[in-house]
Chains A and B, each alone.
Chain A
Amino acid sequence: MSVPNYLIATPIRFAAASYTLRVDVGGTTEDLTVGFTVGRNYWLSGDGQADADGGVGGVGDLLRVVSTALGTHTEITGGYAALNSSFLVELGSLDGGDNITIDWPNSTLDESIFGFADAIVGPTADAVVGTLMPRGLWRPMKAATVDSRDRQPIVGGISAAVSGRTRVSRFATPLREREIEIARLHQSVTLAEYAPATEPYGTLEEAWINSMSLGRPFRLYEDETVRTSSSYGLYRTKDLGEPYDRDPRYNVRWRANLSMRRVV
């Protein structure tokens, strides 16, 4: 039995409330509107959560948003957007009817988020598939070597008299904390410098610099293949120290040390 790989998802935010996605199905070309809430967090999870703030700045499944937009095409009866087993985005139609084409150059929605090049993709039967890893996901391809699990810190103090009589003050029980270490990371998932052409955004450095170190929340999935609305923990970093270094036990590899605190 293999140990499942961890996955960290970082949020995607949009600066405008709507974008267009030009989709052609069987010769019917339409500019579909993809609507967002500016500044809200969206996740490339495929867990189907509806677009909502959720009290944590956004829980919406970005693929569900796109799927809904695809469904507004007059020739699509079952639009869908999903991550396939290779973590590539598929955009298409469930009804299996006509060929589908996505015209990214004439769309305002940023294709790089979904792992596509700025080109016309298709026509392809049922679905088009991205060629790059989408943004907002870090796959270490490993399980954690050390995981503290969520732990409850205490804000308080303790004093003792000479006699040994003791008084404890407890002010608060803050949000829980967790530390994980993932050892023997390949350089291609650690440093942007080594990112492969097919996974330009798939490094820890990318997630760290552009999201986690800015204080954005991130999701920790303990099994990258199980991405449901309840299979992750939502955290923020609690330490701005660089979270990766050379693995001392195997120096050609890298090691990630993430200190995090629950968002709620």
Chain B
Amino acid sequence: MTDFATNIARDDQSWTWILRIDGLGPALSGAELAAADSDGRYRFCTAIPDYAASMPSSVWQDLLTEIPAPLRERVTDLGGATELGSLTIELLDGDDLLTQEIRTERPPLTRLSQTIDTNDTSVGVDSTTGLSADDNVWNGAEAMRITVVGGSSITVQRGALNTDPTVHDEDSEVYQSINFLRGRRAYLHIAPIDGDSSADEEELGAWVIDSLEWSEDLNRWVLLASSQLKPLARQIPLQPRRMRAEAVNGDPSNDAEVILSIPPQTRASDLRLWTTNTTPDVFYVRHESGEVMTLTGDANGFVGTRLRTYRRDLLRTGRAELKADEVFHQVFMAEPSAPGSFRYSPGPSPSTSRTSGTWTPVAHFIPVMAILLTSSAREGDGLELTNYVAARGNFASLPPGFGVGYPAGNIDWDSWFDVWNRTPDYLFPYFVFGDEAVEFGELVTHNFLRPMGAYFITSAGLAKIVLPRLPLIGSAVLTIGEANILKRPVGGRRQYLPRVSVRRDRASQASAIRYIVGPNTKAPVTFHSAEFGATFGQGGYYGTDEKPIDIHVPAGDPDTPEIYARRGLSRLWRTRRPRIEVDGDFDASVWSGLPLGDVGELTLAELPNLAAGLRGWDSVLVQHLEAEPRGQEGAGGGFYTNSRMLGYGPDVRIGRVAPSAHIVEVSDGVIAIVTTNRYTHTDAQSPLPTNDAAGFHVDDVVRILNLDGTDAGGGATETVVSVAGDDIELSGDFGGLMAAGQVLDYANYDDADPQQTSRYAFMSDATNLTPGSSNDDAWLYGEP
């Protein structure tokens, strides 16, 4: 028995591919459903795994005629959300199972005798003839499992077979078989044959079924499906809140009183505003001209029909002349102070009420995305203010219908907080949302991910944020070498070639990165390579291509150009250099161990090192941009990934802040006991150090300084021998000069150990921009 990770590491892996389709499953008793992990859908698979023995045999159908492909997953080097390719699935109609189950032309058995809400479990029907307990019935897109059949009603479990409970109207049709296939979600998993349970299944992706074909011999059903990476495809908001101005009193371009046609005497709490009962309620609206303003209700907490303007032209797009009959939409704006509408309640004991506890308005893109992702998708889904992981805080704060409704437990919060902590000033105070329905993936890609070069991916079933950077010293990095690269035979006499192709691409080469920041900026922040001739060359690699890359940041603050200077410089460098792309077949450890957008190390002989003029790449950093998990029979097959990676080049050096530590005591002559947190903070996210001593690593070469910055060690250096708690043991005591009150610091560049300098530059000569007196390149850019 084995789990997924263990099986990946084995040399004798055995896998099964498993396909589930929402709304398609057999009738199961309550006990059988429980045994099937409360998931009654069919598992169409290539082989039945060992753990299926404890489940009802009817749910496992080894009918896949081939391993589904292709499943290409990709991101761009500029950041964004994952894109998935389409999927073709071939199922054998063994024992005519599919013909019997997928009777989409079957007439309805009965109709609802009442309208039912999403939570109703007692359902009135015109007739119960032909219905039995444990049967599934279908109404619209939802499947329901019957538990009790009464005279004129049935008791059901809602949302059976992984469908979504929805409102159903009286007289809507009730079917005895799945009523349609097109538009249903299909999920593909892979699992070790000898896995312990369904928990060892790894999701490869989700698709929406588009069409159905039959094979020439009519034995196989061929399903064609397009990608749907939940939750990226979810449209938010479900229903924008539209209001009409009945009258405008006063100065229409200034402090007018706007009378809106919203329900009279509506309490602020009905709109889920951030409110108390003692202050007027303030909320954001977007006028049809595009102007965003705040309106305020009356002193009793009612928004009523008479509202006064509070602030105008929040996006600097110009003031409109407000008139009666014009349309307003309620919107949500990420202002970092009240009345900012994106708020979260910090953990570990977050509030679950808008009128109590701490609710912090935020403009940072990570919490704003978390709020959009975890907030309730619709009334009655039970997620409003409750969909959170306590230790991380409550982000599910938008009103129902404005969020994606993604389970907070399915989020890799470590990755989200890591990026948040690394980028505290990446604020988007002009982010406005809510007046039109848009796909979540498109919304966050356009507003946040692409501007910042970050990625939204799903890995191991968890939603993850990746902001690539070079690994820190001591960080775990996936290394890819000849043991991970598949080979193919050429000729017949024990000759092989690695299954990789390498090319140097100029497709996205650009001479400039232009950030167009803010909702209405006329002055883009532009970074042109000519401005950085001293660092990475002012001349173009290809002089004919001067096309800039425009990155629009509509929610960004044009008054903080320094943020975009930092991001622009690194991205200019990456896109300015003609890219080296590595495309090849790698073993499954690359697929499971290197999420898309993340950075690993590639070692491969014979690849030209264009910096050193030698052959061979040794631990060269590569960014994983595309992955296609493949299963293939025969030699060279098994479970592996075809991946595309972007090489950073063999000689990149990143600017980093070097660690420091204030010595409070010297023990045993060579142990510097240092202040715990003078330069670091306890809440730093891994792999950043949470105490000062942890910033140092064994073999680092260090020096000691006085507080005025002068050398206190007579020019001597020592080497770190060990680090434990606040104790840094050194190879010596600087000739007896080490004392309390001094600062431990990295040695000069020329004296440092290669681990301190091979990828990082921590100080440079201000005149010639070279580190120390060496001939090494200066640092190219900094990164968070």
A236 at interface by CB-CB < 8 Å: yes
Whether B605 pairs with A153 at a CB distance below 8 angstroms is no
Residues on the B chain within 8 Å of A239, using CB: 635
Residues on the A chain within 8 Å of B53, using CB: none
Q: How far is the CA of A169 from the CA of B606 in the complex (A)?
A: 6
A54 at interface by CB-CB < 8 Å: no
Residues on the B chain within 8 Å of A151, using CB: 494
B634 at interface by CB-CB < 8 Å: yes
Residues on the A chain within 8 Å of B667, using CB: none
A–B complex contacts, Cβ < 8 Å, 29 sampled: A15-B1, A39-B2, A151-B494, A152-B494, A153-B495, A154-B496, A155-B495, A155-B496, A155-B497, A156-B496, A156-B497, A169-B605, A169-B615, A170-B606, A171-B482, A171-B604, A171-B606, A174-B482, A174-B496, A177-B494, A214-B14, A215-B12, A215-B13, A215-B14, A217-B11, A217-B12, A236-B11, A240-B635, A263-B11
Q: How far is the CA of A223 from the CA of B256 in the complex (A)?
A: 101
Q: How far is the CA of A174 from the CA of B495 in the complex (A)?
A: 10
Q: How far is the CA of A156 from the CA of B496 in the complex (A)?
A: 6
B241 at interface by CB-CB < 8 Å: no
Whether A172 pairs with B605 at a CB distance below 8 angstroms is yes
With A152-B494, A154-B495, A156-B495: A171-B605 Cβ-Cβ less than 8 Å = yes
B487 at interface by CB-CB < 8 Å: yes
Q: Nearest Cβ distance between residue B444 and chain A, in whole angstroms?
A: 41
Q: How far is the CA of A263 from the CA of B10 in the complex (A)?
A: 12
Q: Nearest Cβ distance between residue A213 and chain B, in whole angstroms?
A: 10
Q: Nearest Cβ distance between residue A227 and chain B, in whole angstroms?
A: 23
Whether B498 pairs with A155 at a CB distance below 8 angstroms is yes
Q: Nearest Cβ distance between residue B10 and chain A, in whole angstroms?
A: 8
Residues on the A chain within 8 Å of B13, using CB: 215
Q: How far is the CA of A169 from the CA of B605 in the complex (A)?
A: 9
B490 at interface by CB-CB < 8 Å: yes
Q: Which of A15, A39, A153, A217 contacts B496 (CB 8 A)?
A: A153
Q: Which of A15, A154, A216, A240 contacts B12 (CB 8 A)?
A: A216
Most chain A Cβ neighbours within 10 Å, of B1, B494, B495, B498: B494
Q: Mark B480-499, 1 if CB is under 8 A from A, else 0.
A: 00100001001000111110
Q: Nearest Cβ distance between residue A11 and chain B, in whole angstroms?
A: 10
Interface size class of B (residues with CB under 8 A): 20 to 34
With A170-B606, A236-B11: A154-B494 Cβ-Cβ less than 8 Å = yes
With A172-B482, A174-B487: A215-B11 Cβ-Cβ less than 8 Å = yes
Q: How far is the CA of A256 from the CA of B273 in the complex (A)?
A: 78
Whether A240 pairs with B634 at a CB distance below 8 angstroms is yes
Q: Nearest Cβ distance between residue B197 and chain A, in whole angstroms?
A: 15
Q: Mark B1-45, 1 if CB is under 8 A from A, else 0.
A: 110000000011110000000000000000000000000000000
Residues on the B chain within 8 Å of A154, using CB: 494-496
Q: How far is the CA of A214 from the CA of B638 in the complex (A)?
A: 11
A40 at interface by CB-CB < 8 Å: no
Whether B11 pairs with A153 at a CB distance below 8 angstroms is no
B602-621 residues with Cβ-Cβ distance < 8 A to A are 604-606, 615
Whether A214 pairs with B604 at a CB distance below 8 angstroms is no
Q: Mark A204-239, 1 if CB is under 8 A from B, else 0.
A: 000000000011110000000000000000001011
Q: How far is the CA of A169 from the CA of B500 in the complex (A)?
A: 14
A157 at interface by CB-CB < 8 Å: yes
Residues on the A chain within 8 Å of B498, using CB: 155, 171-172
Give residues in B with beta carbon < 8 Å to A.
1-2, 11-14, 482, 487, 490, 494-498, 604-606, 615, 633-635
- Which A-B residue pairs are the 9 nearest by beta carbons? A215-B12, A153-B494, A172-B482, A169-B606, A155-B496, A171-B605, A216-B12, A155-B487, A171-B498
Residues on the A chain within 8 Å of B497, using CB: 155-157, 171
Q: Nearest Cβ distance between residue B495 and chain A, in whole angstroms?
A: 6
Closest B residue to A153 by CB, please name it. Answer: B494
Q: Mark A162-184, 1 if CB is under 8 A from B, else 0.
A: 00000001111010010000000
Closest A residue to B497 by CB, please name it. Answer: A157
Q: Nearest Cβ distance between residue B651 and chain A, in whole angstroms?
A: 22
Q: Nearest Cβ distance between residue B337 and chain A, in whole angstroms?
A: 57
Residues on the A chain within 8 Å of B494, using CB: 151-154, 177
Most chain A Cβ neighbours within 10 Å, of B1, B498, B604: B498
Whether B487 pairs with A214 at a CB distance below 8 angstroms is no
Q: How far is the CA of A154 from the CA of B633 in the complex (A)?
A: 24
Q: How far is the CA of A170 from the CA of B606 in the complex (A)?
A: 7
Q: How far is the CA of A170 from the CA of B604 in the complex (A)?
A: 10
Residues on the B chain within 8 Å of A171, using CB: 482, 497-498, 604-606
Residues on the A chain within 8 Å of B606, using CB: 156, 169-171
Q: How far is the CA of A57 from the CA of B2 in the complex (A)?
A: 14
Residues on the B chain within 8 Å of A174, using CB: 482, 487, 496
Whether A170 pairs with B634 at a CB distance below 8 angstroms is no
Q: How far is the CA of A263 from the CA of B11 in the complex (A)?
A: 10
Q: How far is the CA of A169 from the CA of B615 in the complex (A)?
A: 10
Q: How far is the CA of A172 from the CA of B11 in the complex (A)?
A: 19
Q: How far is the CA of A169 from the CA of B608 in the complex (A)?
A: 11
Q: Nearest Cβ distance between residue B8 and chain A, in whole angstroms?
A: 14
Q: How far is the CA of A152 from the CA of B495 in the complex (A)?
A: 9
Q: Nearest Cβ distance between residue B293 and chain A, in whole angstroms?
A: 64
Q: How far is the CA of A172 from the CA of B12 in the complex (A)?
A: 22
Residues on the B chain within 8 Å of A153, using CB: 494-496
Q: How far is the CA of A204 from the CA of B12 in the complex (A)?
A: 19
Q: Nearest Cβ distance between residue A151 and chain B, in whole angstroms?
A: 6
Closest B residue to A238 by CB, please name it. Answer: B635
Q: Nearest Cβ distance between residue B486 and chain A, in whole angstroms?
A: 10
Q: How far is the CA of A38 from the CA of B615 in the complex (A)?
A: 44
Residues on the A chain within 8 Å of B615, using CB: 169
A237-253 residues with Cβ-Cβ distance < 8 A to B are 238-240
Q: How far is the CA of A171 from the CA of B605 in the complex (A)?
A: 5
Residues on the A chain within 8 Å of B496, using CB: 153-156, 174
Q: Nearest Cβ distance between residue B599 and chain A, in whole angstroms?
A: 23
Q: How far is the CA of A217 from the CA of B10 in the complex (A)?
A: 12
Residues on the A chain within 8 Å of B487, using CB: 155, 174
Closest A residue to B606 by CB, please name it. Answer: A169
Q: Nearest Cβ distance between residue B487 and chain A, in whole angstroms?
A: 5
Q: Nearest Cβ distance between residue A59 and chain B, in whole angstroms?
A: 15
Q: How far is the CA of A215 from the CA of B635 in the complex (A)?
A: 12
Residues on the B chain within 8 Å of A156, using CB: 495-497, 606
Q: Nearest Cβ distance between residue A30 and chain B, in whole angstroms?
A: 30
Closest B residue to A216 by CB, please name it. Answer: B12
Closest B residue to A148 by CB, please name it. Answer: B494
4 more CB-based (< 8 A) A-B contacts, given A15-B1, A170-B605, A236-B11: A57-B11, A154-B495, A157-B497, A174-B482
A17-50 residues with Cβ-Cβ distance < 8 A to B are 38-39
Q: How far is the CA of A151 from the CA of B606 in the complex (A)?
A: 23
Residues on the A chain within 8 Å of B12, using CB: 214-217, 236
Residues on the B chain within 8 Å of A215, using CB: 11-14
Q: How far is the CA of A174 from the CA of B635 in the complex (A)?
A: 16
Q: How far is the CA of A215 from the CA of B587 in the complex (A)?
A: 15
Q: Nearest Cβ distance between residue B585 and chain A, in whole angstroms?
A: 13
Residues on the B chain within 8 Å of A214, using CB: 12, 14
Q: How far is the CA of A35 from the CA of B635 in the complex (A)?
A: 37
A119-158 residues with Cβ-Cβ distance < 8 A to B are 151-157
Q: Nearest Cβ distance between residue A258 and chain B, in whole angstroms?
A: 15
Q: How far is the CA of A152 from the CA of B615 in the complex (A)?
A: 23
